[in-house]
């Protein structure tokens, strides 16, 4: 007999004579009530076992974590908390789970403990919900761009471009590391390596993406990205997923409009498709915050925060305005920031970004027109900027509780300006000759951005550590599983 998903059983409107459900036991109460979950929904289905007619050896094997198959009648439930339940006529244990050994007991586990058991944490309510929301959000990403006629481009994961410039890279090699071939100068001879050259894992698909935008018009990438940055924070992973749209003929304003519209669309999509999971995650967050002092608790619930983002425009603020606000801010004057803001040109730390978003504007903020020398070489130099105070058409989107969620820019479309910039910072023109071809042949204004998918999932699920929104996190010192 084919089993029916718990989600569909719970959505039934009538009694059904014979149904079969398969799943994992969450709890077994009074030798009678199984809370069964199969991952199709946050909700369990109650299965009422006829314990008087079930052998003791079977009853003993209905333990948390065990896989079971139940057959019976789906009837309206007399108990509170569920609409329908299964009156079990036949129960099979598919796979036992020793209650002395199964780590996911029905009690509160710390997030740290769950991280160490990432292969089993997905059997908890919270991680089931997070992973379903993550899945729906990735579909929403494709749905948004496909509806708008963007072309999905898969850029290489192994890259020969050393100058992507977005972060520290992981080297890819098939050379024997205990016996490296050397050239006449005594340097490692990468000609003997697998690709005949030095290669890395990608830190961004942008440069390749730009070449496609300059032919297909509107493109997006959505793939894994690797950064060997040793930042042990709650917002950085060594392996994360990035979404990078790139659009020909878009200037920075159009780029900001696209980013804002995209973020609102995917959040709305998740709210429409995952109401129960989000409701659960909202109560999880409320629960977690109860242990915090009043001042550190959020002013809004999770769903209020998500609605707020849908209903309000992001505040657009130039870097220069932001510096003025920060310089005059109380934490700056009282020297509460770790990095005190004195001068125009300072790079903003996450404490500053969070002050702007959470304390000053109290809404998502788009900062734009950053100083040229704290941003990447490919960003469009603003016309009419004072010498020494050059700015570029960059934008970062800052979110409450997250900090930077998007980094993007209008790209420098002028070949001579771009080449000069590369020279000034020591990027070999020959290395990136293919990239410069976009500017040599039919160059045009174009813009794009990168959005860290896990930071989006963090925001939507109300989780606070990025390690909790990716199935198997990779961070410095940790590549378990
Ligand atoms: P940050 O300053 O937070 O390290 P960044 O300036 O290095 O970010 P970009 O190079 O602009 O980030 O990358 C684009 C987006 O990718 C960021 O806005 C962020 O959402 C995401 N991102 C960057 N680095 C990481 C990381 N190590 N783990 C997860 N997401 C990241
Ligand atoms: Mn970074």
Rounded distance, CA 329 to CA 315, Å? 18
Domain boundaries 6-104, CATH class: mainly beta
Q: What is the mean pLDDT of residues 388-408?
A: 95
Nearest bound ligand to the CA of residue 238: 1
Quickly state the pLDDT bin for 327 (edges 50, 70, 90).
Answer: very high
Label residues 412-422 b or e (16+ Cβ within 10 Å = b).
bbeeeebbebb
Element of type H or E holding 40:
none
Q: From the CA of 167, how far away is ligand 2's center (Å)? A: 6
Rounded distance, CA 476 to CA 230, Å? 6
Rounded distance, CA 343 to CA 60, Å? 70
Sheet holding 315-318, edge to edge: 151-152, 218-226, 239-248, 446-452, 403-410, 391-399, 365-371, 315-318
Find residue 317's DSSP bridge partners.
367
**Domain-by-domain residue ranges, the chain?**
6-104, 123-176+189-468
Quickly state the pLDDT bin for 460 (edges 50, 70, 90).
Answer: very high
Nearest bound ligand to the CA of residue 164: 1
What average pLDDT does the structure give for the chain? 95
pLDDT digits (tens, 9 = 90+) for 88-101: 999 999 999 999 99
CB under 8 A, 24+ apart: contacts of 324-332: 325/356, 325/360, 326/352, 326/355, 326/356, 329/355, 329/359, 329/360, 331/355
The reported pLDDT for the residue numbered 162 is 67
pLDDT digits (tens, 9 = 90+) for 178-190: 999 999 999 999 9
The reported pLDDT for the residue numbered 229 is 86
Residue whose Cα lies nearest atom 16 of ligand 1: it is 452
C-beta of 400 in contact with ligand 1 (< 6 A): no
The reported pLDDT for the residue numbered 161 is 81
Q: What is the mean pLDDT of residues 47-56?
A: 94
The reported pLDDT for the residue numbered 307 is 97
Nearest bound ligand to the CA of residue 347: 1
Report the atom number in ligand 1 closest to the C-alpha of 405: 20
C-beta of 454 in contact with ligand 1 (< 6 A): yes
C-beta of 455 in contact with ligand 1 (< 6 A): yes
Provide, rounded to the nearest whole percent, the portion of the chain with pLDDT above 90: 90
Residue whose Cα lies nearest atom 14 of ligand 1: it is 450
Rounded distance, CA 189 to CA 352, Å? 45
Lowest mean pLDDT among 124-128, 365-369, 383-387: 383-387
Q: What is the mean pLDDT of residues 390-398?
A: 97
Tell which residue, 91, 109, 199, 219, has the closest CA to residue 155: 219
Quickly state the pLDDT bin for 385 (edges 50, 70, 90).
Answer: confident
Lowest mean pLDDT among 46-55, 72-81, 112-121, 327-336: 72-81
Strand 218-226 relative to strand 16-29, pairing: unpaired
Quickly state the pLDDT bin for 164 (edges 50, 70, 90).
Answer: low
Q: From the CA of 452, how far away is ligand 1's center (Å)? A: 6
pLDDT digits (tens, 9 = 90+) for 218-240: 999 999 999 998 888 999 999 99
Which residues lie below 8 Å from residue 224, measured CB to CB, with a gap of 6+? Answer: 157, 239, 240, 241, 242
Q: How far is CA 248 from CA 111, 150, 293, 414, 478, in A?
A: 43, 11, 49, 14, 40
The token pair that represents 420 in the structure block: 């000069």
Tell which residue, 239, 257, 238, 235, has the closest CA to residue 247: 257
Tokens 């669309």 label which residue? Answer: 265
The token pair that represents 144 in the structure block: 């948004």
Q: From the CA of 174, how far away is ligand 1's center (Å)? A: 28
The reported pLDDT for the residue numbered 242 is 98
Pocket perturbation via mutation, ligand 1, pick of 137, 236, 399, 473 by most ligand atoms within 8 A of CB: 236
Give the predicted TM-score (pTM) of the model. Answer: 0.96
Residue whose Cα lies nearest atom 20 of ligand 1: it is 452
The reported pLDDT for the residue numbered 458 is 98
Q: Is the pLDDT of residue 432 over 90?
A: yes
The reported pLDDT for the residue numbered 140 is 98
C-beta of 404 in contact with ligand 1 (< 6 A): yes
Q: Is the pLDDT of residue 166 over 80?
A: no
C-beta of 166 in contact with ligand 1 (< 6 A): yes
Q: Is the pLDDT of residue 402 over 80?
A: yes
Lowest mean pLDDT among 107-111, 293-297, 299-303, 354-358: 293-297
Report the atom number in ligand 1 closest to the C-alpha of 450: 14
The DSSP call for residue 147 is H
Q: Is the pLDDT of residue 163 over 70?
A: no
Q: Is the pLDDT of residue 124 over 70?
A: yes
Rounded distance, CA 252 to CA 249, Å? 10
Lowest mean pLDDT among 81-85, 153-157, 161-165, 277-281: 161-165
The reported pLDDT for the residue numbered 386 is 84
Q: What is the mean pLDDT of residues 276-289?
A: 96
Nearest bound ligand to the CA of residue 349: 1
Nearest bound ligand to the CA of residue 240: 1
Torsion, Cα of 148, 203, 416, 252 (10° steps): 40
Domain boundaries 123-176+189-468, CATH class: alpha beta
Where do the DSSP E strands lie in 30-95? 33-37, 45-48, 67-76, 84-95
Q: What is the mean pLDDT of residues 36-47?
A: 97
C-beta of 132 in contact with ligand 1 (< 6 A): no
Quickly state the pLDDT bin for 165 (edges 50, 70, 90).
Answer: low
The reported pLDDT for the residue numbered 19 is 97
HSE-CB of 287 using CA atoms within 13 angstroms: 9
Question: 95 by DSSP, 3-state: which?
Answer: strand
Rounded distance, CA 167 to CA 124, Å? 35
C-beta of 240 in contact with ligand 1 (< 6 A): yes
C-beta of 236 in contact with ligand 1 (< 6 A): yes
Q: What is the mean pLDDT of residues 319-347?
A: 95
pLDDT digits (tens, 9 = 90+) for 201-216: 999 999 999 999 999 9
The reported pLDDT for the residue numbered 54 is 93
Report the atom number in ligand 1 closest to the C-alpha of 404: 18
Question: 28 by DSSP, 3-state: which?
Answer: strand
């Amino acid at each position: 007999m084919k089993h029916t998903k718990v989600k569909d059983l719970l959505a039934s409107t009538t009694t059904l004579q014979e149904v079969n459900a398969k799943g994992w036991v969450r709890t077994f109460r009074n030798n009678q009530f199984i809370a069964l979950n199969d991952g199709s929904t946050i909700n369990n289905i109650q299965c009422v076992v006829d314990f008087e007619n079930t052998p003791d050896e079977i009853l003993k094997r209905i333990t948390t974590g065990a896989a079971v198959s139940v057959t019976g009648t789906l009837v309206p439930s007399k108990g509170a908390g569920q609409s329908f339940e299964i009156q079990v006529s036949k129960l099979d244990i598919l796979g036992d789970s020793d209650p002395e050994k199964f780590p996911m007991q029905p009690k509160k586990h710390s997030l740290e403990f769950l991280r160490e058991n990432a292969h089993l944490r997905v059997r908890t309510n919270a991680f089931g919900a997070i992973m379903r929301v993550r899945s729906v959000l990735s579909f929403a990403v494709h749905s948004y761009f496909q509806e708008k006629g963007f072309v999905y481009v898969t850029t290489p994961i192994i890259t020969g471009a050393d100058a992507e410039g977005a972060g520290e890279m992981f080297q890819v090699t098939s050379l024997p590391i205990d016996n490296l071939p050397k050239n006449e100068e005594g340097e490692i001879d990468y000609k003997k390596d697998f690709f005949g050259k030095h290669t890395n894992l990608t830190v961004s698909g942008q440069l390749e993406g730009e070449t496609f935008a300059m032919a297909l018009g509107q493109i997006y990438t959505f793939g894994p990205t690797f950064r060997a940055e040793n930042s042990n924070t709650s917002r950085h992973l060594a392996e994360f997923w990035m979404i990078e749209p790139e659009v020909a003929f878009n200037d920075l304003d159009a780029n900001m409009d696209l980013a804002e519209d995209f973020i609102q669309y995917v959040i709305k999509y998740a709210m429409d498709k995952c109401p129960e999971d989000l409701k659960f995650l909202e109560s999880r967050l409320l629960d977690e915050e109860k242990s915090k002092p009043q001042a550190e608790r959020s002013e809004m619930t999770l769903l209020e925060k998500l609605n707020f983002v849908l209903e309000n425009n992001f505040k657009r603020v130039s870097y220069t305005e932001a510096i003025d606000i920060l310089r005059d801010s109380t934490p700056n004057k009282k020297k509460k920031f770790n990095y005190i803001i004195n001068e125009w040109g300072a790079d903003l730390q996450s404490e500053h970004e969070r002050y702007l978003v959470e304390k000053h504007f109290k809404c998502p903020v788009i900062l734009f027109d950053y100083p040229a020398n704290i941003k990447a070489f490919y960003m469009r130099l603003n016309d009419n900027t004072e010498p020494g105070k050059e700015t570029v058409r960059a934008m970062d989107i800052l979110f409450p509780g997250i900090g930077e969620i998007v980094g993007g820019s209008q790209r420098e479309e002028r070949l001579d300006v771009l080449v000069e910039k590369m020279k000034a910072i020591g990027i070999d023109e020959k290395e990136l000759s293919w990239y410069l071809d976009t500017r040599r042949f039919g160059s045009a204004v174009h813009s794009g951005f990168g959005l860290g998918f896990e930071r989006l999932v963090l925001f939507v699920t109300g989780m606070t550590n990025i390690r909790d929104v990716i199935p198997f996190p990779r961070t410095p010192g940790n590549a378990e599983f």
